Amino acid sequence: MNTQHALNRRHFIGFLGLAAGSSALALTPSRALAGFRLADDPILAWDELSKGVHAMVDASTGGNVLTVASADSVVLIDTKFAHLGRALLTDAQGFAPGDAKVVLINTHHHGDHTGGNGSIVPKAEASYAHENALPRIKDSFSSVKASARQAKKTVEGGGSVELIRSAIRTERAAAKWQRTSIVPETGVSGEKTSITAGELAMDLYHFGAGHTDNDLFVHIPEHNVLHTGDVVFNGLHSFFDQTAGYSTKGWVNSAKRGYELCDADTIVIPGHGPVGDRSILKAQSEYLEQLIEAVQAEIDKGTSKEATANKSWPFMEGLGFEGIRGRAINAVYDELAG
């Protein structure tokens, strides 16, 4: 998904309610300036899924982030928006030993999954995305840099002291960012790419165009954990981007192939929505199959695109992101009507 509209609702820990323009340092009810902040206190709100495995799952701050710490490395999968990149990196490093090497993976190019790259790519030992993602991320440089230059303003009113500090540092650093600062070093291709971060082995899978033309699954067998990127919107309508080289039928295929990577115990982190198990991959492919079927039936009846976009069907009821329901129908209509 690639929208910032939901950013005003925040779920950060340590709300301060700072007025715009007031000094972060002057208002410090937290433990931070009292000197009690432990080195491993995270800035952001994380869920520990298993030992060394943390997810930041929050519909209001962009795509879900997963970190996996091992003895000599920490892997960070996706980076939300520009104002959060530095805090994500700080927290990820806090989950690992002091000298752990950072490895970054982007599941696809959308700005709510790559916006924080500028704070992380230059400090990473290695960074990966699908090869089709690289030029798209590069093209987002101006808007990402502009967002980073507004980082403090973005977090004010809902951020902790530590987050505001992090945003101030992001603003300063962003002045020196180049295009290469936000683009992962390595573009992968092919169906399966095996990589390592120190001693941790990971597999990156690309099953063809789906949500975008550069979707990657990140599978970490040692922890039996899978990040699906935006191939899965759990409990939410799916976001379609007409500029991203999407394929709804390909998306169904990707979700099904992703399901095959799992067993009954696999922890599955979707691009958006709560963490689940492999059943969320099944729900995603079923949503898309029913959407294709419903829209095709309207096309066959001669229903206009506008009238079809206003329809709803039982499988679409009760999901979050209601505002993008019509967008999903339109995208599928365009694809099927060709």
CB of 110 to Zn ion, least distance (A): 3
Minimum CB distance to Zn ion smaller for 94 or for 115: 115
CB of 53 to Zn ion, least distance (A): 22
**Length of the chain as a residue count:** 338
Q: Are 79 and 195 in contact (CB under 8 A)?
A: no
The one-letter code for the residue type at 201 is: A
Rg, Å, the chain Cα set: 20
CB of 144 to Zn ion, least distance (A): 15
Three-state DSSP state, 293:
helix
- Please, what sign has the CA dihedral across residues 195, 183, 52, 215? negative
Q: Point out which residues bind Zn ion (CB under 5 A).
A: 1, 110, 230
Instruction: Enumerate the β-bridge partners of residue 130.
Output: 188
- Copy the structure tokens of residue 108: 């696809």
CB of 79 to Zn ion, least distance (A): 13
- Copy the structure tokens of residue 249: 């039928």
Minimum CB distance to Zn ion smaller for 62 or for 276: 62
CB of 137 to Zn ion, least distance (A): 12
CB of 230 to Zn ion, least distance (A): 4
CB of 239 to Zn ion, least distance (A): 6
CB atoms inside a 10 Å sphere around CB 26? 8
Cα angle vertex 102, ends 99, 104, to 5°?
Answer: 175
Minimum CB distance to Zn ion smaller for 166 or for 228: 228
What is the distance between the alpha carbons of residues 141 and 125, in angstroms, rounded to a whole number? 21
Q: Are 247 and 205 in contact (CB under 8 A)?
A: no
Cα angle vertex 133, ends 49, 211, to 5°?
Answer: 65
- Quickly list H helices, 188-277: 248-260
